Amino acid sequence: MRIPDIGDFADVPVIEVHVAPGDVVAAEDPVLTLESDKATMDIPAPAAGTVEEVLVQVGSRVSTGDVVLRMTESGTGTAPATHPVTHEDAVPAPVDRPGYGSAAGVYDRVEVVVPELGDFADVPVTEVLVGPGDQVGPHTPVVTLESDKAVMEIPASQSGTVEDVAVRVGDRVSAGSILLFLRTEDAPSRPAAAATPAAEPAAASGPGDVRADVLVLGAGPGGYTAAFRAADLGKSVVLVDRWPALGGVCLNVGCIPSKALLHAAKVIAETREMAEHGLSFGEPSVDVGKLRSWKDQVVGRLTGGLAGLARQRKVTTIRGSGRFTSPNQVQVELADGGTTTVDFEHAIIAAGSEPVRLPFVPHEDPRVMDSTGALELADVPRRLLILGGGIIGLEMATVYHELGAEVTVVELMDQIIPGADKDLVQPLYKRISQTYAGVHLKTKVTAVEARPEGLVATLEGETSTTATFDRMLVAVGRRPNGPAIGAERAGVVVDERGFVPVDKQMRTNVPHIFAIGDVVGQPMLAHKATHEGKVAAEVTAGQNSFFDARVIPSVAYTDPEVAWVGVTENEARAAGIHYGKGVFPWAASGRALSLGRDEGFTKLLFDEAGHRVIGAGVVGPSAGELIAELGLAIEMGADAADIGLTIHAHPTLSETVGMAAEAFEGTLTDLYLPKRKK
């Protein structure tokens, strides 16, 4: 098969390949999609037949007459394709999700679906013949279906390794239903995390005190979302959590209280900065008690609202710490004393994570804080040491610096926020280097001694030194709570790092038990957990839902804010991705100049083959708000023209997104940029 006459176009990139060897196609079925600078073109099969060999791939460039595949003609002209092939982008997946959660997640995979079954629909699965990790050929049976007239074995559509199985015995399927996902032989392999073998599950000791269709263990953003969604789908739900109010770490001692204090810090900073422009205020008078009370009121409104939503949905809430005692029972140590047991049909583990503790730090000393302690805002120390230059540490640094503390940050890596590109965090690094007492990179704290006069820390970097601090915040990461829930008594696997492995439907190795959020792995972000929670709840209700996010945004609510989504430049270079870049500096943004904050920029990364956006980063005020548009653009497969031709309001910070796309396209007029080499 050759490329037909496509007019004046030549050297046009292939952006999608719709078929693979062994596929049966009908005449006029699209086999390739090309994209010129003016149009997207589907190239159809010239006749019905079987694909023998595909000679091009995504990113190849073709012209009229080029041979693109070989096929054996059948002459029938009516044979349907046996499976859809999803090419989500021209970029391989990273081996593991990087750092604090940029989670590029753009990759190729093959879905094996139920082929046309004639008049049959809603047919039960009677056998599942393969599992994750199995190698299959193009005709290997993967499931068996049984109608009232026949038993049918459904074969794999092509060779590969089974990644996820989407059905189990008893499920009912129809033509087009997804059965499993294959990684083809040329796709990058994803090594599984080493896991401790599941112990033999324990037997239930007797009937429980409470029964639920769905038990949710943990009421953070993922947990309460899962509980509410399951209730909306008609399930009886019990929600177990150890906190006095619903919302978990995020609402009680994490995301929400930190953002309230960060807003206060922003107000202080902005009033100080306006003095340079003729608007002066006196030094702020900080009433820590009132500030703490306001922060607590914000938290109370949100957690109280969740309690109301639980009542409206008739979700039973139990306050206490739950541990599995068998595959269908959890025992809860009640917060007010005693125990109760819950029998369940399905369980969703949303147990979250805890701050990492370091052996050389005297954590028992009240002057040593984790993120929870820092948000209690007991006082504002004169000298504060922050161990860890990641998102949590730098957000707390922002708060305490503006409240008057002398802040010193120590980071082991060669940059702050190691998961982000170095250029993206440079404006933040420059700002805090000039205003904090110290920002030490490639430095580690090797010892901390608690003395009456303060915490004496030993810092080792290019030189070794000691310094005394009034308080210390340890913000070096979080560890999952997988080992704390008695998973072994339910037969649930927990890996050596404490994570619970799950599939795309959030199932653990025990089919009726699911896990979501921090406990299933990076990125440990609330907005990931909420989407996973919905998937898990919907699967318990029989829906064919999957967690299949291409990208997950990350935001540091520092000053300036730093946000990124999709592939970073570090990841692109490591993976050998051919990418282009469009950058718009905020020094040329009228809105940024009017805010007195011109140090930021907007950066977009594009796949050179099809000009589709694959990653983005923003640094500057409101970066966390701007990143949403770019996440949507990646999810929808937008290219540079789609973004650049979208009219953004003027003057806004959001128009820097469109201008960064124009910078890549070479159509930008707000700056003079040398023409890109073709």
Residues annotated catalytic, as ranges: 650
Q: How many CA atoms lie within 13 A of 157 on its CB side?
A: 29
Q: Which of 498, 502, 487 is nearest to 201 (CA)?
A: 487
Q: How many CB atoms lie within 10 A of CB 162?
A: 20
Is 425:601 a contact under the CB 8 Å cutoff? no
Each residue of 326-352: b (16+ CB within 10 Å) or e?
A: bbbbbbbeeeeeeebbbbbebbbbbbb
Give the span between the Cα atoms of 263 and 266, in whole angstroms: 5
Give the span between the Cα atoms of 363 and 357, in whole angstroms: 8
Q: Name the DSSP letter for residue 241.
A: E
Q: Mention every residue, 6+ apart, whose C-beta is less than 8 A from residue 284.
A: 268, 271
Peptide bond between residue 92 and the one before it cis (omega within 30 degrees of 0): no
Q: Name the DSSP letter for residue 557.
A: -
Element (H, E) at 422: helix 422-435
Is 269:283 a contact under the CB 8 Å cutoff? no
Give the span between the Cα atoms of 378 and 386, in whole angstroms: 16
**Tokens coding 480:** 């999952």
Give the span between the Cα atoms of 352 and 475, in whole angstroms: 17
Q: How many CB atoms lie within 10 A of CB 55?
A: 12
Query: Look-up: residue for tokens 């990125």?
Result: 523
Q: Alpha-carbon Rg of the chain, whole angstroms? A: 28
Q: Mention every residue, 6+ apart, whose C-beta is less than 8 A from residue 79.
A: 24, 25, 26, 48, 49
Element (H, E) at 262: helix 255-273
Query: How does DSSP assign 594-653, residue by residue?
Result: HTT--S-EEEEEEETTT-BEEEEEEESTTHHHHHHHHHHHHHTT-BHHHHHTSPPPSS-S
**Tokens coding 317:** 């809430």
Give the span between the Cα atoms of 319 and 138, in whole angstroms: 52
**φ and ψ at 653, to 5 degrees?**
-70, -30
Q: Is residue 221 classed as helix, strand or coil in its secondary structure?
A: helix
**Tokens coding 287:** 């009433």
Q: Is residue 220 classed as helix, strand or coil in its secondary structure?
A: coil
Q: Which of 176, 125, 178, 165 is nearest to 147 (CA)?
A: 125
What's the 3-state SS for 638-657? Answer: CEHHHHHCCCCCCCCCCHHH
Q: Is residue 386 classed as helix, strand or coil in its secondary structure?
A: strand
Give the span between the Cα atoms of 639 and 633, in whole angstroms: 8
Element (H, E) at 339: strand 339-349
Q: How far is CA 563 from CA 105, 419, 596, 617, in A?
A: 17, 11, 20, 6
